[in-house]
Structure 1
Amino acid sequence: MKTYKKQFFLLLCFVALVVAACSDEMEDYRKFTDGGEISYTEKLDSVKVFTGRERLYLRGVLNADPKITSFRVYWNNKADSVVVPVNRTKPIDTLSVYINDLEENIYNLEVRTYDEELNSSIPVNITAEVYGERYQETLYNRTVISNVLIGNDLTVSYSSMDLTTGVLGTEIQYTSSNTSEIEEVYVPIDSAMAFIEDFMSGSEYQYRTIFKPEPTSIDTFYTDYKSYTPEPKLTDPPYLLNSSYPFEILEGGSRWGTPLGWIHNEAALSHDGYGALDGELFDLESGWGEPDLINAKVYQTVILPAGTYAYSINIAETNYEGADNNLDKAYFTVAKGPQLPDVSDVETSPMTLAFERVNKANGLNRLLAFTLEETTQLSIGVQTTNDAGAGRFLKINSFELNQFSKAPYLKNASAPYKLASTGSRWGTPADWIHNDAAMSHTDNGPQGAYDGNSAKWDLESGWGQPNIVNGKVYQVLFLEPGTYTYTVTIFATNYSGTRGTSDQAYFVVAKGNTLPDVVDVETAEETLVYDRVDSANDNTRILSFTISEPTKVAIGGETTNAEGVGRFLQVESFKLVKQ
């Protein structure tokens, strides 16, 4: 019993001490508040801060406190601040402020709300980074890997970038070929290529790369513009695809078809959706139960560098009559741009570079010459239009486009010769065409027509090397009409001309894409001029020839030898001059 009394006494003492302490604290509180209670305003809720260029944007939600008349944002240890008045308009308001003219740095912000009596809320603290010139100086343009321009179609390929830089994409400004106005396209960073279908050839485009330092940043950063002038992708010789009989068929029926590699407008596809092929022969035909051809166009588009060109057509058969029949028209046409002009405009269009109205009386071989002053996109082909019910046909064996060769005509034509490939001794000169027989030396792969010991152009057999049978080494040129001199300076040879019947060597100029076989050089119709090599003759050999029309020629040297015979033909230089 005594124990319980003792415990009860101790409990009373503890309660008395607590009450006394609380009384002291309340007294201190009343002294601090001058006898009043502390009044807190509601704090700003859901506070978010968004980074920017030398500024911040802060936003938060105010729920129910109607007494709030302002909020304040402090930074730099409260040395700087901004006060924002608050006008309550609804039970829940979103409050925000832009803080401008900040230096690039990391900021610790303190946000408080206030009422009219300047009672404040408890603070809300948040950290944000401001970006500026230091960040700007770290930015760089996305690297362009390539520009491919074909006609008005531009493809720009880009490298990848470090995404942690905040890169968003690329902005391109270019001149439209359709409107001549500046257009803009955006290429997101996850796209490796940009495709522009109306780029004005010959113009430049400029681009810049876009960044946001943080995904929610209120400001976008840009690199300086960088400019490019894309060079058109040139069409390689022989320029025209699928250009001779038998023409490859893209699609077709039992008789009529459509040739592969050619562009057709709808009017040209007049035979149940097919057109321009009769079997494997190129043919634009109407009448005899077939539909009329009205403004039919069949052509190819090429991009060519400056130069003079010849568009050649070999007609198989036609019944077009030129200006003798103005109801039915057919043209061979060369025009600037991605398509041919309409038939009615061929002769007057400023886009037309060359044309010929088809007339059966003019012969079957037609040639149109034209000159380009700069790299140009061209459309080259054929087009027709016919009177209702007229039976007309234009059957063509081949089309050909050639650039006239320019002086000095022959490439890599004197010592020291540039090599396309080489071994320890034997090599192959660049820019020359070689048949397999001329590549007779196995030295780091097949080699031919160059001897490293003499550093000369050389067709050589024997002394442990294979014999050469009908070996040909030459270049192909397209020449204007005129008289030419082909001069060959021999360094050394042991060929004996007509004194040796089994071993033959010739310098030859022949019409066409190749030299005639050695056994046919002296009799072939294609041969324009030849010289049989003989060590007894002077080492400077001069061959002259005349052509009366633009002509493709093969020009070079060729040899054939008996098994095991040691023969060499070493040449210091080749030269072609127009008189």
Structure 2
Amino acid sequence: MDATYKEFLNGGQVVYNGKPEGLQAFSGNKRVGIKWYIISDPKITSAKIFWNNPGHIEGDPVLPNQRPAGKDSITIAINRGSGTDSVITFIDRLKEGIYTFSVYMYDDKGHSSVKSEVISDVYGDNYQNSIGNRPTDMPQLNILNGKSDLYIPWYGVAQQAVRIDLIYTNTAGIVKTVQKSKIPNPTDPRRGMIWLDKDTLFNFKDAAGAKLRYRTAYLPEETAIDTFFTEYTDIGYKYYVPPTPPSKDDNLALSKKITTSSATGTSLTDGDRSNTNKWQPSSGERADLNVWFYVDLGSVKDFNSTQVYFTKDPAKITYYEILYTDAATIATDTKWKRAYIKFGAPEEEDIFVSTNTDNTALVNLKGRYIKINIGLRDEATNINVSEIEVYHKDKL
């Protein structure tokens, strides 16, 4: 049977070296990174990578910093260690496009391994021209209580964007560079990274001609070895103007008489929303887990909104309700109407607005006395209420 195999030995014995294992390609800006592992075969001394430049005809003029069209290759010397070795090399001056890279390994006698191939994109000017800076609305500068903070509202940006670089001058006169990146989804970390829709730059210096400079960084692929940047954009800012609080003249309860569960007083209608002047129910009032107060507006008035300020332990309130009556006086048999009830803890500034069922229009109520009835979690609950305000607003 010698004749069946001798013909395959013409020209001598064929020797194959170990091939590149785990071959990977990492895209870049007019370049690519190639990586593989040498698992065995200590005879390996070199490797050669072949590719064909795509996208233009062989013989075309060579573009600056790019290789010519057609077939190309590089040779790499390899010094083997005692175990598994990794090989990493970079091929530059590549034209933008899709490449197939073929890798062979050789011993010192010129014997070749079988071919390993990997496909990779190479990015360049076309990709650079396709990216844009993340759009933003006009930032707002909030100068309040000795602080000077710039609030930046953002619009959406492509998922390939990975970072925003911001440059500004702080109140100490120092030029600062701040980087903003994606964060884990705060509502569901399993959904990956997301962009915040607003950012704040603290201690922003307000000065004539002051600007915010920013650019956006992109990775065309998660494993890309090069980051692409947009040009810096300079933008101005506008000043944040806090809404004008209601005039004290509009507050129907201001300076009006207050009656509480155990006593009368004026601190709940003195116009001070802070906790300086407050109503604190006594332990005797709290015994049945219910406390209350009401304000006398002096006469029957139209109203459609109240604001109650719970400045201590609102979390220990089980419910509160707003009652009203147009009775001329308050007696034990006075019939109250309920304007609102909230189960659970109120907000520290709890605002009630009377509207129709679809919340599109105000509904006026008529009352002389406005009562706040409060349920307590336990007898030790020691709440503070600093103010009640009552309004007749013209619009939502």
* Separation (CA, whole Å) in 1 of partners of 2:116 and 2:80: 20
**How many Å apart are 1:61 and its aligned residue?**
0.7
Partner of 2:98: 106
Output the CA distance in 2 between the equivalents of 1:191 and 1:254: 39
- Residues 231-272 of structure 1: per-residue CA shift (max 9 Å, x gap): 222456689999x9833232136799xxxxxxxxxxxxxxxx
Computed over aligned residues only, the root mean square deviation of the Cα atoms, in angstroms, reads: 2.8
CA shift in 2, pair 1:173/1:240, >3 Å:
farther
Number of matched pairs: 230
Match of 2:85 among 90, 93, 114: 93
| SS of aligned partner of 1:29 | helix
Alpha-carbon shift at residue 90 of structure 1 (Å): 2.7
- Cα distance change, pair 255–138 in 1 and its aligned pair in 2 (3 A): closer
Aligned equivalents of 2:85, 2:226: Cα separation in 1? 25
Equivalent residue letter for 1:26: Y
Q: Using the alignment, how far apart are the partners of 2:33 and 2:89 within structure 1?
A: 6
- Kept in 2, the 8 Å contact 1:187–1:194? The answer is no
Q: 1:254–1:174: structure 2 CA closer, same or farther, 3 Å change rule?
A: closer
1:125 matched residue in structure 2? 117
Residue matched to 2:232:
225
User: In the aligned structure 1, how far is the partner of 2:150 from the partner of 2:92?
Assistant: 42
| Preserved CA contact (<8 Å) 2:165 2:177 | no
In 2, distance between residues paired with 1:138 and 1:234?
A: 37
Q: Is 1:248 equivalent to 2:275 in the alignment?
A: no
CA 1:240–1:24: 2 relative to 1, 3 Å:
farther
Residue 204 in structure 1 maps to residue 198 in structure 2: no
Distance 1:208 1:241, change over 3 A: farther
Match of 2:222 among 187, 203, 215: 215
Residues in 2 aligned to 1:137 and 1:81: alpha-carbon distance in whole angstroms: 29
CA–CA separation in structure 2 for the residues paired with 1:191 and 1:249: 33
User: Are residue 167 (structure 1) and residue 161 (structure 2) matched?
Assistant: yes
What's the CA shift for 1:89?
2.1
SS in 2 for 1:120: coil
Q: Which runs of 5+ in 1 are unaligned?
A: 1-18, 257-579
Deviation per residue, 1:54-105 (Å, 9 max, x gap): 0000111111211000111100188201111101123110111000110101
Letter in structure 2 aligned against 1:132: G
Equivalence for 1:31? 10
SS in 2 for 1:251: coil
2:33 counterpart of 1:57: yes
Q: Secondary structure at the match of 1:80?
A: strand
Q: 1:120 to 1:241 in 2, by over 3 A?
A: farther
The answer to whether the 8 A contact 2:32-2:90 is kept is yes
Helix, strand or coil at the partner of 2:138: strand
SS at match of 1:26: helix
The structure 1 residue matched to 2:23, chosen from 39, 47, 72, is 47
Whole-angstrom CA distance in 1 between matches of 2:102 and 2:233: 42
The code of the aligned residue for 1:44 comes to: P
Residue deviations 1:279-332, cap 9 Å, x none?
A: xxxxxxxxxxxxxxxxxxxxxxxxxxxxxxxxxxxxxxxxxxxxxxxxxxxxxx
Superposition map of 1:312-331 within 5 A: none
Which residue of 2 is the match for residue 139 of structure 1? 131
Instruction: Report the alpha carbon displacement of residue 183 of structure 1 after superposing the two structures with TM.
Output: 2.8
Cα pair 1:171 1:207 within 8 Å, conserved: yes
The equivalent residue for 2:177 is: 183
Letter in 1 for 2:201: I
The 3 A distance-change label for structure 1 pair 121 and 241 is: farther
1:74 to 2:50 alignment: yes
Cα deviation 1:201-257 (Å, max 9, x = unaligned):
132111111111111000001111111121222456689999x9833232136799x
Give the SS at the match of 2:90.
Answer: strand
Alignment of structure 1 residues 352-363 onto 2, 5 Å: none
2:40 maps to a residue whose letter is A
Residues 254 and 193 (structure 1 numbering): CA distance in 2 closer, same or farther, change over 3 Å? closer
- Greater RCO (CA < 8 Å, at least 6 residues apart): 2
**Counterpart secondary structure, 2:93:** coil
Identity across aligned pairs (percent)? 24
Alignment of 1:390-539 (within 5 A): none
Q: 3-state DSSP class of the match of 2:3?
A: helix
* 53 and 194 in structure 1: CA distance in 2 versus 1, 3 angstrom threshold: same
**Greater Rg by CA:** 1
- Contact 1:42-1:65 at 8 Å conserved across structures: yes
**3-state SS of paired residue (2:47):** strand
Deviation at 1:47, TM superposition (A): 0.8
The residue type paired with residue 11 of structure 2 is F
Tell me the amino acid that sits aligned with residue 66 of structure 1: P
Q: Distance in 2 between matches of 1:124 and 1:25?
A: 30
Paired residues for 1:261-340 under 5 Å: none
1:148 is aligned to 140
- Give the Cα separation in 1 of the matches to 2:275 and 2:205: 33
C-alpha contact 1:201 1:232 (8 A) present in aligned 2: no
Alpha-carbon separation, structure 2, partners of 1:197 and 1:54: 39
Distance 1:179 1:53, change over 3 A: same
